[in-house]
């Protein structure tokens, strides 16, 4: 069943729901406790988890209804919500009254300071996910949220908003967020979440990718999209695979998205794309991004053979019950890849920044996820990469550098005959992507002197004077270190 329209949901006064959750202790922590309990009990039916969950009657009722998808007695729930709110939720199709009691149309889970919604996990309901299934916040949602460059006061476009988490996150600093989806049920779920999370600057539009936002050409400061990127033969689950063949969805976003960016705007999309051998993993998105007026950072997380890719997604889709009614067949997937000439599939992200002038492109393989919010790091990397276009080793020696916040020096000592001696030094970011850089022991003397005031050439002279050496022989190494620190975003140019 599809709940009421976004307009009706956004227009309703549902503020008492957040208050009831707060009063009764239905929080992120209580939901995590239930999740741990479910795992510890070996994913039993939800009523078994509920029996083992020790909490007040009110918290048990919220947990049963909103987290576990169970039917609860109306006489338990109505007093917790209050009559008017209860009736409003029923009227909006978000609660259903039946002879057995009341059940919720959507799960509501407190997360990251918001009240987020989603369809109940197929593992809980025992029913296969329908074509309009609304996914919860998953690892890919978090990956894209971490890549988001904050554009305070700007206009953010979240394409394929699903449960709306990215729109909610961006609404904290955007003046206006427009969230779209082809799935009307997802839009209603996101609107429910936006309403009960108390956000007022998010609007919804229904339609495919840029179709409903033609009026926003050249105006967006940030465009986000975590599209349905699984490359599989039967693309009919809109939340996982979309309805397009192969990697068309990300191609579409990279080719068309830049026209919707304001000057200086950012576009971040996740996706899976196909290519022919291991070495050419960046070629496909690079072809799409060429000539779009943007600097481009193509990030690879992992590349797969078609067989490994197919098996991993078939396992995932089967595990979460997404394809219980139409089990995927490995051979069909492999034939499909064969028919399209696909030899490798890469999972990654493309970040684009609209900038006048000569644009650059850069490719990195980042196997690990970012540690927390990588947005400021992404912005710094782009700024540095643009500066690097004009920086030679000689020029960088004339510049002062400042280490970025969160840069860590990891100095390891190893025991040898003379006692412990420094064995390796790695510089890495502790906020964002680590971007590890192994350096020689001497580099420490340089990094510790970076203060945004002394140019690298002066630092070379100081070190030479301290050790009785020759600054001109140190300079090339220090210049290369400076360029590498900038390239990896470990430092920025002062002034």
Ligand X SMILES: C[S@@+](CC[C@H](N)C(=O)[O-])C[C@H]1O[C@@H](n2cnc3c(N)ncnc32)[C@H](O)[C@@H]1O
> Nearest approach, Cβ of 159 to ligand X (angstroms)?
5
If DSSP codes are grouped into helix, strand and coil, which group holds residue 193?
A: helix
Quick one: 121 or 181, whose CB is closer to ligand X? 181
Q: Are 278 and 344 in contact (CB under 8 A)?
A: yes
Site map for ligand X, 374-413, x if CB under 6 A? ----------------------------------------
Q: What is the DSSP letter of 182?
A: S
Q: Rounded to whole angstroms, how far apart are CA atoms 155 and 172?
A: 12
Residue 227 or 306: which CB sits closer to ligand X?
227
DSSP three-state, residue 178: strand
| CB of residue 35 to ligand X, shortest distance in Å | 18
What x/- string results for residues 411 through 450 when contact with ligand X is judged by CB under 6 A? ----------------------------------------
Alpha-helix runs per DSSP H in 348-455: 375-388, 393-397, 441-449
Q: Per DSSP, what are the bridge partners of residue 274? A: 345
Torsion of CA 303, 306, 308, 311, to 10 degrees: 130
Q: Binding segment for ligand X among 79-87, 138-146, 289-297, 364-372 (CB under 6 A)?
A: 138-146
Q: Which range, of 75-83, 136-144, 259-267, 468-476, touches ligand X by CB under 6 A?
A: 136-144
Q: Read out DSSP for 330-371?
A: HHHHHHHHHHTT--EEEEEEEEEEE-SSS--EEEEE--SPPB
- For ligand X, the binding residues in 215-254 under the rule CB under 6 A are 226-228, 238-239, 242
Output 228 or 432, the one with its CB closest to ligand X: 228
For ligand X, the binding residues in 149-168 under the rule CB under 6 A are: 159-163, 165-166
Q: Which is nearer to ligand X, 4 or 186 (CB)?
A: 186
CA distances, 70 to each of 64, 73, 150 (Å): 5, 10, 39
- DSSP state, 214? G
What is the nearest approach in angstroms of ligand X to the Cβ of residue 182?
A: 4
Please, which residue, 181 or 295, has the CB nearer to ligand X?
A: 181
Distance CA(152)–CA(73), nearest Å, equals: 45
Q: How far is the CB of 122 from ligand X (least distance, A)?
A: 15
Least separation in angstroms between CB 479 and ligand X: 42
Measured from the CB atom, the residue of 24 and 132 that comes closer to ligand X is 132
Q: How far is CA 290 from CA 134, 218, 354, in A?
A: 34, 18, 12
CB of 138 to ligand X, least distance (A): 6
Q: What is the pairing mode between strands 491-493 and 401-403? A: antiparallel
Give the number of residues in contact with ligand X, rule: CB under 6 A. 25
Backbone φ, ψ for residue 397 (5° rounding): -65, -25
CB 240 within 8 A of CB 322: yes
Find the angle CA(392)-CA(393)-CA(396) to the nearest 5 degrees.
85
- Give whichever of 211 and 394 is closer to ligand X, judged by the CB atom: 211
Choose between 111 and 161: whose C-beta lies nearer to ligand X.
161
Nearer to ligand X, 228 or 434 (CB): 228
Q: Which of 154, 159, 169, 160 is nearest to 199 (CA)?
A: 169
Task: Classify 30 in phi/psi space as left (phi over 0), alpha (psi -120 to 50) or beta.
Answer: alpha
DSSP-derived 3-state class of residue 149: coil
Residue 200 backbone phi and psi in degrees, to 5 = -125, 0
Rounded to a whole number of angstroms, the minimum distance from the CB of residue 239 to ligand X is 4
475: closest CA among 387, 385, 386, 395?
395
Work out how close the CB of 461 gets to ligand X at its nearest, in angstroms, rounded to a whole number.
51
List the beta bridge partners of residue 268.
224, 351
Q: Minimal distance in Å, beta carbon 144 to ligand X?
A: 6
Q: Quote the CA–CA distance of 260 and 209 in Å, as a whole number.
A: 11
Q: Using H for helix, E for strand and C for coil, what is the string for 268-298?
A: EEEEEEEECCHHHCCHHHHHHHCCCCEEEEE
Cβ 162 to ligand X, closest distance in Å? 2
Residue closer to ligand X by CB (options 53, 240) is 240
Q: How far is the CB of 223 from ligand X (least distance, A)?
A: 12
Of 86 and 192, the one with the shorter C-beta distance to ligand X is 192
Nearest alpha-carbon partner for 49 in 130, 128, 129, 123 = 123
Site string for ligand X, 173-212 (x = CB under 6 A): -------xxxx--x---------------------xx---
Kindly state whether residue 141 participates in binding ligand X, applying the rule CB under 6 A.
Answer: yes
At closest approach, how far in Å is the CB of 217 from ligand X?
Answer: 17
Q: Closer to ligand X at the Cβ: 64 or 155? A: 155
- Given the rule CB under 6 A, which residues bind ligand X? 135, 137-138, 141, 144, 159-163, 165-166, 180-183, 186, 208-209, 226-228, 238-239, 242
């Amino acid at each position: 069943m599809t709940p009421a329209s976004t307009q009706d949901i956004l227009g309703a006064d549902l503020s008492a729901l957040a208050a009831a959750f707060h009063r009764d202790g239905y929080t992120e922590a209580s939901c995590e406790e239930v999740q741990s309990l479910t795992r510890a009990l070996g994913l039993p039916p939800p009523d078994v988890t509920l029996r083992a969950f020790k909490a007040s009657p009110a918290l048990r009722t919220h947990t049963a209804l909103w987290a576990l998808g169970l039917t609860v007695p109306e006489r338990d729930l109505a007093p917790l919500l209050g009559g008017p709110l209860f009736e409003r939720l029923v009227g909006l199709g978000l609660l259903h009254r039946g002879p057995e009691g009341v059940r919720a149309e959507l799960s509501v889970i407190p997360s990251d300071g918001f009240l987020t919604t989603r369809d109940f996990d197929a593992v809980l309901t025992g029913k296969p996910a329908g074509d309009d299934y609304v996914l919860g916040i998953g690892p890919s949602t978090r990956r894209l949220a971490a890549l988001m460059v904050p554009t305070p006061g700007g206009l953010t476009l979240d394409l394929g908003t699903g449960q709306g988490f990215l729109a909610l996150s961006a609404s904290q600093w955007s003046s206006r967020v427009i969230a779209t989806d082809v799935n009307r049920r997802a839009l209603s779920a996101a609107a429910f979440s936006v309403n009960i999370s108390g956000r007022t600057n998010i609007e919804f539009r229904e339609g495919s990718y840029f179709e409903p936002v033609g009026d926003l050409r050249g105006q967006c400061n940030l465009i986000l999209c975590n599209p349905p990127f699984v490359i599989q033969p039967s693309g009919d689950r809109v939340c996982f695979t979309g309805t397009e063949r192969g990697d068309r969805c990300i191609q579409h976003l990279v080719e068309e998205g830049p026209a919707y960016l304001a000057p200086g705007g950012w576009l971040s999309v996740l996706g899976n794309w196909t290519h022919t051998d291991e070495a050419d993993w960046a070629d496909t998105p690079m072809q799409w991004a060429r000539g779009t007026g943007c600097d481009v950072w193509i990030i690879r997380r992992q590349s797969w053979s078609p067989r490994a890719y197919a098996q991993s997604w078939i396992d995932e889709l089967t595990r979460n019950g997404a394809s219980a009614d139409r089990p995927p067949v490995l051979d069909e997937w492999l034939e499909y890849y064969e028919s399209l000439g696909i030899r490798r599939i890469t999972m990654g992200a493309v970040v684009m920044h609209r900038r006048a002038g000569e644009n650059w492109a850069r490719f990195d393989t980042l196997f690990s996820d970012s540690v927390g919010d990588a947005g400021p790091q992404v912005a710094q990397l782009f700024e540095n990469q643009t500066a690097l276009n004009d920086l030679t080793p000689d020029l960088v020696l004339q510049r002062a550098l400042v280490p970025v916040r969160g840069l860590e020096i990891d100095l390891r000592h190893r025991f040898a005959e003379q006692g412990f001696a420094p064995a390796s030094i790695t510089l890495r970011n502790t906020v964002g992507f680590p971007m590890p850089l192994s350096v020689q022991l001497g580099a420490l003397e340089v990094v510790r002197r970076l203060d945004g005031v002394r140019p690298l050439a002066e630092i070379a002279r100081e070190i030479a004077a301290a050790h009785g050496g020759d600054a001109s022989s140190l300079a090339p190494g220090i210049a290369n270190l400076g360029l590498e620190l900038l390239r990896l975003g470990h430092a920025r140019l002062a002034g």
